[in-house]
Amino acid sequence: NAGVTQTPKFQVLKTGQSMTLQCAQDMNHEYMSWYRQDPGMGLRLIHYSVGAGITDQGEVPNGYNVSRSTTEDFPLRLLSAAPSQTSVYFCASSWDTGWGQPLHFGNGTRLTVT
Amino acid sequence: GENVEQHPSTLSVQEGDSAVIKCTYSDSASNYFPWYKQELGKRPQLIIDIRSNVGEKKDQRIAVTLNKTAKHFSLHITETQPEDSAVYFCAASGGSNYKLTFGKGTLLTVNP
């Protein structure tokens, strides 16, 4: 299994541009989520999904959209990039939301918005 | 919503010493408390977790304690080694991975 795959690894955007961060998992996990990591801020939940067709907002959802059309894929869309969205983005999945299920993280996408 | 405070933000110890990282949480309904380790430039990985009906859990050199009354939990690493150097995150949720709230992290440096 490849686990959780994120693309791209690095991206530079200009303010106002849009883009999609891709996340795919091949473990048949029901739960998928997106976090952003900023220095001194830890990991903050953006959006999450408990199954195909079901998504919900996390702690910092503004400026981001998600969809979950398949179990495998959970893309994160930036509608109009802003410098405040410069961050490292992690996608994470687990078998389900049951206790004791470790989150499997992807390798992250480092995004810079100028 | 849940708020998780983590201390200290940085911790430096000598190899072989013990390290303790403490977290407090605000939501008394939280019942799942995992700890993640993130090495430089890598992804976070689960190292240990505890549920609210357990007061302590050990896994070799790592242990976690939970005080539900005081709403705080701690990570203890004994006999530290240089490979323990990393950022450690605590987290809390009302139900396993569902909307996990992370602390801001502790940079642990183990000096040889």
Span A4-31, pLDDT tens digits:
999 999 999 999 999 999 999 999 999 9
Q: Are B89 and B38 in contact (CB under 8 A)?
A: yes
Q: How far apart are CA B99 and CA B93, in angstroms?
A: 6
Instruction: From chain A, pick out residues whose CB is under 8 angstroms from the CB of B43.
Output: 90, 105-108
**In the prediction, which pLDDT does B97 show?**
55
Q: Specify the amino acid at residue B45.
A: Q
- Is any Cβ of chain A less than 8 angstroms from the Cβ of B25? no
CA distances to A8, B3, B68, B97 from B53, in Å: 41, 20, 9, 17
Q: Amino acid letter at B36?
A: Y
Question: What is the nearest CA distance from B103 to chain A, expressed in angstroms?
Answer: 6
Cross-chain residue pair A94–B97, CB shorter than 8 Å: yes
Per-residue confidence (pLDDT) for residue A41, from 0 to 100: 86
DSSP3 helix / strand / coil % (chain B, rounded to 5): 5, 55, 40
The tens-digit pLDDT sequence of chain B (112 residues) is 889 999 999 999 999 999 999 999 999 888 889 999 999 999 999 999 998 888 999 999 999 999 999 999 999 999 999 999 999 999 998 755 578 899 999 999 999 9
Q: What is the pLDDT of residue A80?
A: 97
Of A31, A44, A107, Cβ closest to residue B97: A31
CA dihedral B103, B109, B110, B112 (to 10 degrees): 170
